[in-house]
């Protein structure tokens, strides 16, 4: 599968290419995405009982970016100091016995 690519049209859709061994038509849904374009990579062969291979260009909904600010920014390399148990919220530090 290829990375999503930008398409320049009025809706400014995101697309990706999906390879499948199943024959679908334009407008159907594959992996939850609508097929925009179909290309035959290898045609089916009934004599050898082999399925075809198809590439589908499908419409992808833009992913919603979640911003999590639960942590502050990472300290710079020179300013890093190890936290004490009190600074860590007084959690118990367990040491495992050696094997």
Q: What is the pTM of this model?
A: 0.51
Q: Give residue-wise pLDDT tens across range 73-83.
A: 666 666 667 77
Query: What is the C-alpha to C-alpha distance for residues 84 and 89, in angstroms, rounded to an integer?
Result: 9
- Kindly tell me the burial class for residue 54, based on how many C-beta atoms sit within 10 Å of its own C-beta (0-12, 13-18, 19 or more): buried
Q: Are 15 and 62 in contact, with CB atoms under 8 Å apart? A: no
- pLDDT for the residue numbered 65: 74
Domain that holds residue 50: 5-60
Q: Are 51 and 41 in contact, with CB atoms under 8 Å apart? A: no
Q: Give residue-wise pLDDT tens across range 30-69.
A: 888 899 999 999 999 989 889 999 999 999 877 777 776 5
Asked if the structure places residue 48 within a domain, the reply is: yes
Asked if the structure places residue 70 within a domain, the reply is: no
Asked if the structure places residue 38 within a domain, the reply is: yes
Domain count, the chain: 1
Output 77 or 23, whichever has higher pLDDT. 23
Asked if the structure places residue 87 within a domain, the reply is: no
């Amino acid at each position: 599968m290829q990375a999503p690519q930008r398409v320049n049209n009025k809706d400014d859709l995101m697309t990706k290419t999906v390879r499948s061994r199943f024959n679908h038509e334009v407008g159907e849904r594959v992996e939850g995405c609508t097929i925009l374009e179909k290309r035959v990579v290898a045609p089916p062969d009934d004599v050898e009982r082999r399925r075809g291979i198809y590439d589908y260009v499908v419409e992808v909904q833009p992913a919603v970016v979640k911003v999590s600010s639960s942590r502050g920014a990472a300290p710079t390399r020179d300013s890093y100091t190890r936290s004490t148990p009190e600074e860590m919220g007084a959690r118990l530090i367990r040491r495992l016995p050696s094997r």
